[in-house]
Amino acid sequence: MNGNTFVIKCGGSTLAALPNGFFAELAAFQRQGLQPVIVHGGGPEISQSLGKLGIHTEFVDGLRRTTSEVLDVVEMVLAGKINKEIVRRMTQNGAKAVGLSGTDGRLLTAQPVANADKLGYVGEVTEVNTELLNSLLSVGYIPVVAPVGLGADNQRYNINADTAAGAVASSLGATPFIVVTDVPGIAGTVGGVKKVLPSVTPSKIKSMIESGEIYGGMIPKVQAALKCLGGNVNEVVIVNGSEPGVLGKVLRGENIGTKITAEQAAAPA
């Protein structure tokens, strides 16, 4: 793995609002020899498409319950529409990018999540085809990955984008792992005032989930971060993608968003 590789996860609700400058910044990084890998979501567009088709959708613990009918729409929206929109915007802004689904070249091998009886065809990543990613990076392309995985039995699985991105970051040993959202970081209460926490530890995150301060869609984000920290990644940063020059600020180590680091490394919030 090239030490210049880092993974960016872009949330579905964030993508449409990302300025052209975000994609131009990626193109500039590429020209400098840095190697981003992007994993994206698409929750709002999936919900919108399901609504238009009259297909019921619901969430359990921040994850979408996925029936066979829902899965067809998930794959269509993620791999067919959003993935290509991202590649197109990157190309328009001077980057070289290739769009992939996790089923392409068995990029993401998956198995059912523990509570599959409640969630249906929702998967967790068991293996990442890093050879495929590194091959693309070595010839100068930014891989853009839609989080649909393939089981050993060739069953497709809907994989939460945070979980998929975390698995990709761990498998590549890519640091930092940057989670791009539409919020400025993890908010917590300090002295009775709600504010963005500059850094948090795994134990702090666990207590915030228990207290309900971290809830809904933020839960899979922080859980993916915790799993990464247990692997080959030593820093996860959650940032707002609309902040000008956000990626460069993270890579330069500026104080932006919320850094999630192992217990001994985190600064006091």
**Under the phi-then-psi rule, with left for phi > 0, alpha for psi from -120 to 50, and beta for the rest, what region is 155?**
beta
pLDDT of residue 264: 63
Enter the tokens of residue 115.
Answer: 């509570």
Q: For 156-225, give the DSSP string.
A: EEE--HHHHHHHHHHHHT-SSEEEEESSSS-EEEETTEEEE-SEE-HHHHHHHHHHTSS-TTHHHHHHHH
pLDDT of residue 159: 96
Instruction: Give, in order, the Cα–Cα distances in Å from 206 to each of 202, 215, 220, 222, 265.
Output: 6, 11, 12, 9, 17
Instruction: Give, in order, the Cα–Cα distances in Å from 268 to each of 47, 50, 203.
Output: 38, 43, 13
pLDDT of residue 84: 95
pLDDT of residue 268: 52
pLDDT of residue 182: 86
pLDDT of residue 1: 42
Q: Is 257 helix (H, G, I), strand (E, B) or coil?
A: coil
Q: Which residues of the chain have pLDDT under 50?
A: 1, 265-266
Domain that holds residue 244: 5-265
- Of the chain, the percentage scoring pLDDT greater than 70 comes to 97
**Domain CATH number, residue 15:** 3.40.1160.10
Instruction: Give, in order, the Cα–Cα distances in Å from 256 to each of 120, 146, 150.
Output: 37, 27, 36
Number of folded domains that form the chain: 1
pLDDT of residue 50: 97
Q: How far apart are CA 120 and CA 122, in angstroms?
A: 6
Quick count: other Cβ atoms within 10 Å of Cβ 261? 19
Element (H, E) at 108: strand 108-112
DSSP 62: T
* Average per-residue pLDDT for the chain: 91
45 within 8 A of 77, measured Cβ to Cβ: yes
